[in-house]
Amino acid sequence: MARHQKPRVVIVGAGFGGLRVAKGLRGKGFEVVVIDQHNFHTFMPLLYQVATAALEPEQVVYPVRGIFDTRAIRFLLARVESVDLAAKTLLTTRGPIDYDYLVLAAGSVTNFFGQKDIEAVAHGLKDLWEAETLRNHVLTAFERASVEPDMAKRDALLTFTIVGGGPTGVELAGALSELIYDDLAEDYPYLDFNRVKVILLEASSSLLAAFDSSLREATLRRLGQMGVDVRLNAVVATATPEVVGLKDGTLIPSHTLIWAAGVRAATLAGQLGVPQARGGRVPVLPTLQLADAPDVFVIGDMAYFEQDGQALPQVAPVAIQQGDLVAANLERLARGETLERFVYKDKGSMATIGRSAAVAQVAGLKLTGFPAWAAWLGVHLVQLIGFRNRAMVLINWGYNYILGKRGVRLITTPDSAEATGRTQVSSITGLEQRELPASGREPSLVVDAR
Ligand SMILES: Cc1cc2nc3c(=O)[nH]c(=O)nc-3n(C[C@H](O)[C@H](O)[C@H](O)COP(=O)(O)OP(=O)(O)OC[C@H]3O[C@@H](n4cnc5c(N)ncnc54)[C@H](O)[C@@H]3O)c2cc1C
């Protein structure tokens, strides 16, 4: 029996899945409470564009309280620390909260597969801060390189290593190469851009494993044309702040290691006291309920669900479709009806590589180049929440497409001058201290060619 006037549904996570459940329950006779550790929803598919200075951070997030009618759906800004399934209570940083029904949609975190040395130095790309931190780091590396007199150190500063040849790694490699060779090459005319490297490491024998082989080949070719050094069958074994070590013994001097090699279920999955499947995901029944707690549903990246003998991928459409089914199943459960089983409808996959370059397989069609890129832009623009965000993203993309420029080349660390280090100004690359002939003045900085 419900413990509240209206049955209370608590949804943990205002991501793709959680928002869909909340929307589906609007006006359906439940008290709905959404809890998230951030007061905004993050549109993960565009985080890499924040990291590569194409979009401002604010354009890929949206305040949760602005998405709903907050008189109908309550929002609590808190982190959920654990769940007491027997007592039907969540422990949060703002105190306990009880539920009649619970939906866990807390997503995933970067998976370093237990490699602590790598985790300590690698950049992830799972939230807004990580994206902004990465942008700051890349731009700071160029500032530091521009005053670094030692060529080997300068080369390491200007070597950017990305691990993981899935869609995130591919998109990031393409965007980073455009940022570097189009924009930063103009910003730093005295650096030798023939020595700058973007390296994409993939442990298996091909990029974009889930795509058709013709699209995988097209991606490899295109990245090569963009100056990305793609290394297949390359497994990262060690990392320090200055060197990335591969399993075959290769050492890559590189100050930037970006980890796009996988995710595991949100840490909350480990607090439930139920068995976990691969990647820490929580196995669910075909109705998306927990086997031993039918009033609890788990969806999206946190859930483990097999279809046709394969685990469903951790992508937004899975979370969205599961969210829709859970909203409908909650109504059925409250009415004492039989619940429906989840069937994933795969509408296709796409990945962008750069300006006018993408790959897509949709409804049996395989697209590359401009048509795939246009489709990618359209799909992402439609899915973004909020008119203002869509308008601003469109303006930024138009600016980028027409002028080939990325406008957000900002280092926003509190003390960005300090972040660049303390190399003496006399060794700025391209600027040398010279005695001005017969002037009798102090040596001053003059621009010099490479
Ligand atoms: C860089 C990147 C690019 C991606 N690109 C694509 C793409 O192009 N297409 C695609 O389909 N998928 C993409 N994905 C995957 C997609 O983003 C996820 O599959 C999707 O977000 C999963 O939805 P979800 O609802 O399960 O979780 P999320 O959308 O991750 O939402 C989880 C929410 O839970 C909150 N949360 C977590 N733990 C707690 C806690 N303890 N207490 C309170 N709140 C908590 C988080 O703050 C977050 O708001 C990408 C992912 C990344 C990281």
Query: Residue 144 domain-assigned?
Result: yes
d(Cα 254, Cα 199) in Å, to the nearest integer? 10
- Both 225 and 273 in one domain: the answer is no
- Both 171 and 158 in one domain: the answer is yes
- Both 359 and 241 in one domain: the answer is yes
Task: Name the residue at shortest CA distance from atom 44 of ligand 1.
Answer: 36
Active site residue 143: no
Structure-token pair, residue 279: 């990647």
CA terminus-to-terminus distance, the chain: 77
46-81: pLDDT as tens digits: 999 999 999 999 999 999 999 998 889 999 999 999
- Both 181 and 233 in one domain: the answer is yes
Structure-token pair, residue 145: 């390189």
- Statement: residue 398 has pLDDT above 50: yes
pLDDT at residue number 9: 98
d(Cα 88, Cα 383) in Å, to the nearest integer? 34
Number of domains in the chain: 3
Domain of residue 179, CATH code: 3.50.50.100
Query: Residue 410 domain-assigned?
Result: no
Instruction: Establish how many alpha carbons lie within 13 A of residue 193's alpha carbon, considering only the half-sphere containing its beta carbon.
Output: 17
Query: Residue 98 domain-assigned?
Result: yes
Contact between 115 and 240 (Cβ < 8 Å): no
When pLDDT is averaged across residues 20-49 and rounded to a whole number, the result is: 96
- pLDDT above 90 covers a percentage of the chain that reads 82
405-438: pLDDT as tens digits: 888 899 998 877 777 776 665 555 555 443 333 3
Most confident of the ranges 195-204, 395-404, 405-414, 421-430: 195-204
Instruction: Establish how many alpha carbons lie within 13 A of residue 277's alpha carbon, considering only the half-sphere containing its beta carbon.
Output: 14
- Both 152 and 126 in one domain: the answer is yes
- Statement: residue 446 has pLDDT above 90: no
Closest CA to 292 of 116, 23, 73, 86: 86
- Both 292 and 274 in one domain: the answer is yes
- 277, 307, 334 — which closes off a domain? 334
296-314: pLDDT as tens digits: 999 999 999 999 999 999 9
Query: Residue 69 domain-assigned?
Result: no
- Both 232 and 353 in one domain: the answer is yes
Give the 3-state secondary structure of residue 405: coil
d(Cα 106, Cα 405) in Å, to the nearest integer? 36
Of 130, 132, 148, 171, the active-site residue reads 171
pLDDT at residue number 424: 60
Domain of residue 105, CATH code: 3.50.50.60
The mean pLDDT value of the chain amounts to 91
Query: Residue 71 domain-assigned?
Result: no
Ligand 1 pocket: which of 61, 284, 315 to mutate (most atoms <8 Å of CB)?
315
- Both 126 and 166 in one domain: the answer is yes
- Both 257 and 267 in one domain: the answer is no
- Statement: residue 440 has pLDDT above 70: no
Structure-token pair, residue 38: 């951030």
Closest CA to 49 of 157, 131, 161: 131
With vertex at residue 158, the alpha carbon angle to CA 154 and CA 162, rounded to the nearest 5 degrees, is: 145
Query: Residue 65 domain-assigned?
Result: no
- Both 315 and 173 in one domain: the answer is no
- 310, 334, 358 — which closes off a domain? 334
Task: Please state at what angle helix 316-334 crosses helix 16-24, rounded to 10 degrees.
Answer: 30
d(Cα 134, Cα 160) in Å, to the nearest integer? 11
Domain containing residue 432: 423-447
pLDDT at residue number 386: 86
- Both 198 and 304 in one domain: the answer is no
- Of 162-176, 258-272, 359-373, the one with minimum mean pLDDT is 359-373
Q: Residues enclosing ligand 1, CB less than 6 A?
A: 12-18, 35-38, 42, 44-45, 47-48, 79-80, 105-107, 125-126, 167-168, 266, 268, 300-302, 314-317, 319
d(Cα 14, Cα 61) in Å, to the nearest integer? 11
Query: Residue 43 domain-assigned?
Result: no
pLDDT at residue number 422: 66
- Statement: residue 374 has pLDDT above 70: yes
- Both 139 and 240 in one domain: the answer is yes
Give the 3-state secondary structure of residue 205: coil
Report the 10 Å Cβ neighbour count for 376: 21
Ligand 1 atom nearest residue 260's Cα: 1
- With tokens 């080939």, the residue in question is 404
Query: Residue 293 domain-assigned?
Result: yes
Instruction: Find the 313 Cα to ligand 1 centroid distance in Å.
Output: 12
Ligand 1 atom nearest residue 350's Cα: 8
Structure-token pair, residue 347: 């509408």
Listed in order, strand segments (DSSP E) in 312-414 are 349-354, 357-362, 365-368
Single-letter code of the amino acid located at 237: A
pLDDT band at 400 (very low <50, low <70, confident <90, very high): confident
d(Cα 408, Cα 343) in Å, to the nearest integer? 41
